[in-house]
Amino acid sequence: MFVFHGYLCGMKAFQKYPNEAMIKIQQGPDVYFTIAKDKEMIKEVLIRKYRTVGKGEFLAPVGLFGPNVFSADSNNPLWKKHRTLSNPIFSNVSHLRNVFRVTMEELPKMIQFWTKYYDADKNGNIRNVNTTQELKSVTLTVINRVAFDYDIEIFDKTPEHRDEVHGWISDLLTGLMYKFVFPEYLFEIVPFGIFKRFKDAKNRFRDTAMTMVLKKTKEAELDHQVKDDEDLLSLLLKSANTLKLSEEERLSNDELVSAIFIIFFAGFETSSTSLNFMLRLLATNPEIQEKLIEEIDRDIPSLDSIKFEDITEKLPYLTSFMKEAFRVKIPVGGATRVITKKGGETVGGQFFEEGTVVNVGLYAQHKLSHNNAMDDFKFDRFFNPEKIETEEDKMDKGTMGNLSMDFQKDELITFSIGPRDCLGRRMALLEIKLILVYLLKQYRIKVPEHLKEQQAKIKETYIVTRTVLEPYIFDYEKRN
């Protein structure tokens, strides 16, 4: 099978014409412009002109139950309202500690589940684990508990339950992709195939989300106080009372379902896919894995003693490894914007008509940064023991300690930048690093001998996020 993705096209054009700041790309009848190398132009689009070079209608299909924080244009008051309400949940330290706690509770359950349902032996080795799928299970569990206080119980039940949950979520997301291509009415009238499965999955999502909303509404009626580590749903419901919002400003049920959908969608796929590639990099680079194990053993005495600060402040090699993995295998390959200003807008000194699509090539930016480092994986690229921390660095750290990412300093744009950057950045970084520490503290990760050839041939591409066309399977060999 030949797998090719549009982001690659943009990158190749930038390589061929290294002096150009902007490339025009034609894909069938569609024409769009892409920028990637010029940092100032990227900032112009994503930060300075975020209202006039906005989301437009481009991402409207992602507003499955109505516009949401991801799909709505920056001029839409709904975006501002949702962003303001959701921000603390994924940024404040008390909430991040909640992410830490929930992830630490789920990981032992995940290992028990693997031990029970994969090839485990008496020495604690677990073999042939379908890691691509299992990582989705854990990130799904964490986002549901953290954001909605809702337990999908994937590790408490059987593999059949897990497969059933993954099945309908996959129908929901596949159907969502079809919505970008097929007209709306087909989803209403076609009674078979993915159209029907999508409709069923959508109804199921709405029912599940409404169950969460009703449960939380009852709880919120009994207790109006907003706690420090409140889940997102409670906060959304309670804020309506505490902030004395008018009826109009409060979130309607449809808005709530839409808000739940986007956090659910954005919150699990990207994190699991990042981890998937990170584990493959470790399994195929045993010398890097050893170096990281050494560091973890030095900084963290035991599995039970892992602390929040260990993840945010310590393990600089691991942080560097994660950043480099994000650079080479960036999960979201582009950020698309539309000229929404009436009469058009100027970008990089060039005038564009209203409706023109401008894409920030995150994939190309990562490949061409660091002196065109392309796929040259250097796990300690971001490790600098000699760097003397300035007062400004200390100020910048905020809640994430050393685990922060900065476009200017790191030349990385994994989570985008500006007012529409990733809402879940801090949560994702914390969750991913914690899962890596938890696994490496106990296991060496290896590609099973009998699958080495097959696994090396697995194709990577982008279907919304970076993905693999077949799952990665790993052995988890217990460390002594």
Answer for the pair 399, 95: CB distance below 8 angstroms, yes or no. Answer: no
Q: Which two tokens stand for residue 199?
A: 């409709």
Binding mask 386-415 for ligand HEM (x = CB under 6 A): ----------------------------xx
Structure tokens at 104: 């630490």
- Please name the residues in contact with 340: beta carbons below 8 A apart, sequence gap of 6 or more: 51, 52, 53, 54, 55, 56, 73, 75, 354
**Residue 227 to residue 212: CA distance in whole angstroms:** 18
What's the min distance (Å) between Cβ of 429 and ligand HEM? 7
Structure tokens at 229: 């580590």
User: What are the backbone dihedrals phi and psi of residue 359, each rounded to the nearest 5 degrees, phi first?
Assistant: -110, 135
On whether the CB atoms of residues 455 and 374 are closer than 8 A, the answer is no
- Give the gyration radius of the chain's Cα atoms: 22
Which phi and psi (to 5°) does residue 330 adopt? -55, 125
CA pair distance 435, 73, nearest whole angstrom: 34
Residue closest to ligand HEM (Cβ): 424
Of residues 142 and 306, the one with the C-beta less far from ligand HEM:
142
Using N-to-C axis directions, what is the helix angle for 316-328 and 362-372, rounded to 10°? Answer: 120
Q: Considering the complex, what minimum distance in angstroms separates the CB of residue 75 from ligand HEM? A: 13
Rule CB under 6 A: is residue 262 a binding residue for ligand HEM? yes
User: Site mask, ligand HEM, residues 59-98, x = CB under 6 A?
Assistant: ----------xx------------x------x--------
Q: Which residues make Cβ contacts (< 8 Å) with residue 291, sequence separation at least 6?
A: 317, 379
Closer residue to ligand HEM (CB): 50 or 308: 50
Q: How far is the CB of 406 from ligand HEM (least distance, A)?
A: 15
Q: Which stretch binds ligand HEM (CB under 6 A): 98-106, 183-191, 269-277, 400-408?
A: 269-277
Question: CB–CB of 34/360 below 8 Å?
Answer: yes
**Binding positions for ligand HEM, 270-289, rule CB under 6 A:** 270-271, 274
**Closest C-alpha among 72, 142, 129 to residue 101:** 142
The single residue among 45, 165, 266, 278 that binds ligand HEM, judged by CB under 6 A, is 266
Shortest CB 55 distance to ligand HEM, Å: 7
Binding mask 12-41 for ligand HEM (x = CB under 6 A): ------------------------------
Task: Tell me how far, at minimum, the Cβ of 259 lies from ligand HEM, in Å.
Answer: 9
CA distances from 191 to 184, 199, 397 (A): 14, 9, 53
Is the Cβ of residue 126 or residue 208 nearer to ligand HEM in the bound state? 208
Q: Is 12 left (phi over 0), alpha (psi -120 to 50) or beta?
A: alpha
Q: Which of residues 425-444 bind ligand HEM (CB under 6 A)?
A: 427-428
| Minimum gap (Å) between residue 108 Cβ and ligand HEM | 21
Given candidates 49, 95, 323, 420, which one binds ligand HEM under the rule CB under 6 A? 420
Structure tokens at 131: 């890691």
Tell whether residue 100 is a contact of ligand HEM (CB under 6 A).
Answer: no
Q: Check whether 9 is labelled as a binding-site residue.
A: no
Q: Which is nearer to ligand HEM, 67 or 446 (CB)?
A: 67
Please report, as ranges, the residues that interact with ligand HEM according to CB under 6 A: 69-70, 83, 90, 262-263, 266-267, 270-271, 274, 331-332, 335, 414-416, 420-424, 427-428
Which positions make up the binding site for heme? 422
